[in-house]
Structure 1
Amino acid sequence: MKTYVAFLRGINVGGHHKVPMKDLKYLLEKNNYKNVTTLLNSGNIIFDGDEASAEEIQQQLSRMLEEKFGFSIPTLVKTKNEIITILEHNPFLSVSSNKDLKLYVSLVFDPLPKQLNLKDLETESFKIIKINSREIYSVLNTNKGKTTKAMENMDRYFNKSLTTRNWNTIVRIGKKLRD
């Protein structure tokens, strides 16, 4: 068995695409996934499954979810080791923290090109601090801008082929993975 984390995009937002976490947990358990834990209501699932690639698990989950809930749910799967690596390479250590700064990780569905320039997405309130092949790390000053506008711009640029989580959520997932 191998530990995975699934990130579901666009569920339980604004009353749309409702997916109860208990139903989600039951669905995975019924399909032979073990130690299924959901975190928050935004579609973060930690589970154990057969040794397979994250992409294979991702495809299986996407099919299961669409069959169960009747709509497509973009699903991104990372291994436990990939999440631990994200946490170990924390690019936010140099960011002066305060209550108005929100730290985000956008997980992309397809690898990004090496020479990607996202400066056009940046504003006075929204800065991208690191890009690698599968993640984009950003900071939003909520005194100067709204989260929804920054994320809408990211969604539009990437044609919704990413899902974004607050850094605190990634930290909480990492803590559960290490327990």
Structure 2
Amino acid sequence: MPRYIAMLRGINVSGQKIIKMDRLRQLFESLEFTQVSTYIQSGNVIFDSDELNPEVLRDRIVLELKEQLTFDIPVIIRTPAELEEVVSNTPYVTVNVDENEQRYVTFLSKAPTEAALNKLQAAQSEVDEYHVTGLTVFLLIRKNYGESKFSNNFIEKKLGVAATTRNWETVNKLIQLAGVSAGVE
């Protein structure tokens, strides 16, 4: 049975769209997903489903979240293999810890247009870097993500697509948890 990782955007941030992880797990189980587990409070859900189309899964999850919680929550779906590909293809293989460099990944709901990519290109930063590949924006943050020009909201606005951002450690932990849960060492 295929395994998926759902990343919910904008929950449990600054007292907005509060969802307890037990409740989120129950919601996913009510959709008849199996092997459901969550990771940290930012809305990461690992689950198995017979459904082979991630867009169908996303639409079902978004609808159920809206019905049960009464607010819209964008959801990005990836497979563990897709997350492994993100990690393998990072243009920022190493970071300078002494300089406080950090890696983040913004996952896009759909491919941005060329015009949207040009808007983002016009907004370069003197401090931080980014690289767009397909449905992924790789970020190299040199100060603090909270102070970076390349916030999730900024990227969404420039690219005109829903997105959600995770730090490098979370991306790697999701891969690990999805593999362990599947019996893969």
- TM-score normalized with structure 1 length: 0.89
Give structure 2 stretches of 5+ with no counterpart.
181-185
Q: How is 1:120-131 mapped onto 2 (pairs within 5 angstroms)? A: 120-128=122-130, 130-131=131-132
Q: In 2 relative to 1, CA 58–155 (structure 1 residues): closer, same or farther, beyond 3 Å?
A: same
Aligned 8 A contact 1:87 1:174 in 2? no
Aligned 8 A contact 1:113 1:133 in 2? no
Larger relative strand fraction: 1
1:123 alignment partner AA: S
Summarize deviations over 1:72-123 as a string: whole Å, max 9, x none: 1011111222112112223221443446222111111111346833333322
Summarize deviations over 1:34-72 as a string: whole Å, max 9, x none: 111111101111000113211110011000111111001
Give structure 1 stretches of 5+ with no counterpart.
none
* Inter-partner Cα distance in structure 1 for 2:96 and 2:80: 28
Q: In 2 relative to 1, CA 95–159 (structure 1 residues): closer, same or farther, beyond 3 Å?
A: same
Match of 2:37 in 1: 37
Match of 1:161 in 2: 162
Q: In 2 relative to 1, CA 82–11 (structure 1 residues): closer, same or farther, beyond 3 Å?
A: same
Number of residues of Structure 1 aligned to a counterpart in Structure 2: 177
* Inter-partner Cα distance in structure 1 for 2:3 and 2:175: 12
Aligned 8 A contact 2:105 2:138 in 1? yes
Residue 7 of structure 1, CA deviation: 0.6
Aligned 8 A contact 1:106 1:136 in 2? yes
Identity %: 28
Q: In 2 relative to 1, CA 31–153 (structure 1 residues): closer, same or farther, beyond 3 Å?
A: closer
Q: In 2 relative to 1, CA 144–49 (structure 1 residues): closer, same or farther, beyond 3 Å?
A: closer
Match of 1:86 in 2: 86
Q: Please, which moves more after superposition, 11-20 or 80-89?
A: 80-89
